Homo-oligomer: A and B are copies of this chain.
Amino acid sequence: MSETSLSALLPPLRLLVLGCGHVAQAFLPLLAPRGEWLGRELGVRPVITGMGSRSRGLYIHPEGINAETLTHQRDPSGWFSSTGTRVETVEAFIQAGKNAGASLFIELTTLNPLNGQPALSHIRKALEAGMDVITANKGPVAYAQVELQSLARRHNVQFRFESTVMDGFPLINLAEFTLAAVGIRSFQAILNSTSSLVLSMIEQGYSRDEAIHKAQQIGVAEVDPWYDLDGWDAALKTTILANTLLDGQLTPHMVEREGIRNLTADEICAAALAGSPLRLVSQAYCKHGLVIAEVRPRRISSDNILHIGKGTTGVISLETEAMGIMTLVEHEPGIAQTAYGILNDLITIQRQRSTM
């Protein structure tokens, strides 16, 4: 019997996927090529039982969508075939998915940086329905991590969000699985790649508008670049890291935030020429039992480990009680890393579940 037919005998792990943008389009094609590996390692066979988005509609496929289709047909419009049953609301999607046996809800909708909605409500409903949840959406985590983790515990399920910070670099799992008792005291990091790229292009002589335009052309900056350049993206990530690594209870509005909007090209170039370029730096630390976090432009001297962060490279340096300073560098990350972070969360959930 071939490996493929053997894995067909494994019990299904039924997934609901909400959101059909870049992240979903990078994640879903990862499943089929790893089907054999996942079967061997986890003893299950992932099956897409439901998929949808606001613009394309919400569909339940009790028989499962063929994962091969998702791998070979890159245009997601082909994924919404006539075989599924359409439902009208996300509540109905979760309920119908649950009835069809889905146990894992993957939330990949668009970010709302102001309050994390409506993704936050969707995640609450999925957890309350007894489903494990993975999200790559920073909003719900930054605004309600503690609440959602506690809700997950009450329902004996897991809530994971590795991809929300550093594009899937396993920082959150690293802290959970390998840094217990290490005592993280503070961190400093460069977390927003758009800001780094725009600053380094201004250093090379481009005007701010030219730099933003070029960053948009290569797909790093969004159509509205100010969410990144005003430090919102970094503030959301900093919130998540401060709450995860330092046991904080922050929301994004509690992070002191200053973006790179008010920096002049002259300042930016002079700092770089002097060997200590300006970058948008996230920092968090404990003071009198409170977690303090901030995002602001800082000059990075050449003996600072963050100096390594060239181009869109992300870097975080942890100051720990037991291990001294530990630094992690993610080189030129992209959507593929984010997608892998989701897969990694799926693997972690399944491994933990098999021991619960």
**Min CB distance, A158 to chain B, in Å?**
14
Task: Give the one of A41, A181, A347 with max B CB within 10 A.
Answer: A181
Among B180, B324, B334, contact of A347 (Cβ-Cβ < 8 Å): B180
Task: Give the one of A330, A340, A355 with max B CB within 10 A.
Answer: A340
CB neighbors of B among A269-328 (8 A): 305, 308, 322-328
Query: Which B residue's beta carbon lies closest to that of A34?
Result: B181
Task: Give the one of A170, A323, A343 with max B CB within 10 A.
Answer: A323
A117 CB-CB contact with B under 8 Å: no
With a CB–CB cut-off of 8 A, which chain B residues contact A180?
41, 344, 347
**Min CB distance, A37 to chain B, in Å?**
6
**Min CB distance, A154 to chain B, in Å?**
20
Task: Name the segment of A75-83, A137-145, A171-179, A206-214 touching the other chain.
Answer: A171-179
CA distance A170 to B343 in the complex (A): 21
A331 CB-CB contact with B under 8 Å: yes
**Min CB distance, A29 to chain B, in Å?**
12
With a CB–CB cut-off of 8 A, which chain B residues contact A336?
322-324
Task: Give the one of A34, A169, A327 with max B CB within 10 A.
Answer: A327
B331 and A328 contacting across the interface, CB-CB below 8 Å: no
A247 CB-CB contact with B under 8 Å: no
Query: Which B residue's beta carbon lies closest to that of A329?
Result: B327
CA distance A210 to B170 in the complex (A): 42
**Given A174-B170, A323-B168, is A181 in contact with B37 using a C-beta cutoff of 8 Å?**
yes
A328 and B326 contacting across the interface, CB-CB below 8 Å: yes
A332 CB-CB contact with B under 8 Å: yes
CA distance A221 to B174 in the complex (A): 31
A337 CB-CB contact with B under 8 Å: yes
**Min CB distance, A183 to chain B, in Å?**
10
**Min CB distance, A277 to chain B, in Å?**
15
Query: Which B residue's beta carbon lies closest to that of A341?
Result: B323
Among B30, B326, B329, B344, contact of A330 (Cβ-Cβ < 8 Å): B326
Question: How many monomers of this protein are in the complex?
Answer: 2
A182 CB-CB contact with B under 8 Å: yes
Total A residues in contact with B, Cβ cutoff 8 Å: 40
Among B173, B181, B326, B340, contact of A323 (Cβ-Cβ < 8 Å): B340
**Given A178-B170, A305-B331, is A324 in contact with B344 using a C-beta cutoff of 8 Å?**
no
**Given A170-B178, A177-B177, is A331 in contact with B327 using a C-beta cutoff of 8 Å?**
yes
CB neighbors of B among A224-282 (8 A): none
A329 and B355 contacting across the interface, CB-CB below 8 Å: no
With a CB–CB cut-off of 8 A, which chain B residues contact A333?
324
Among B308, B334, B347, contact of A308 (Cβ-Cβ < 8 Å): B308
A329 and B305 contacting across the interface, CB-CB below 8 Å: yes
With a CB–CB cut-off of 8 A, which chain B residues contact A326?
169, 328-331
**Min CB distance, A179 to chain B, in Å?**
6
CA distance A308 to B178 in the complex (A): 24
B328 and A324 contacting across the interface, CB-CB below 8 Å: no
Q: Which residues of A contact B (CB under 8 A)?
A: 30, 34, 37-38, 41, 168-170, 173-174, 177-182, 305, 308, 322-334, 336-337, 340, 343-344, 347-348, 355-356
Write 11 A-B pairs (CB below 8 A) sorted by A numbering: A170-B174, A173-B177, A177-B178, A181-B340, A182-B340, A322-B340, A324-B330, A324-B336, A326-B331, A328-B328, A355-B356
The list of the 5 closest CB pairs from A to B, nearest first, reads A170-B178, A355-B355, A327-B329, A177-B177, A173-B178
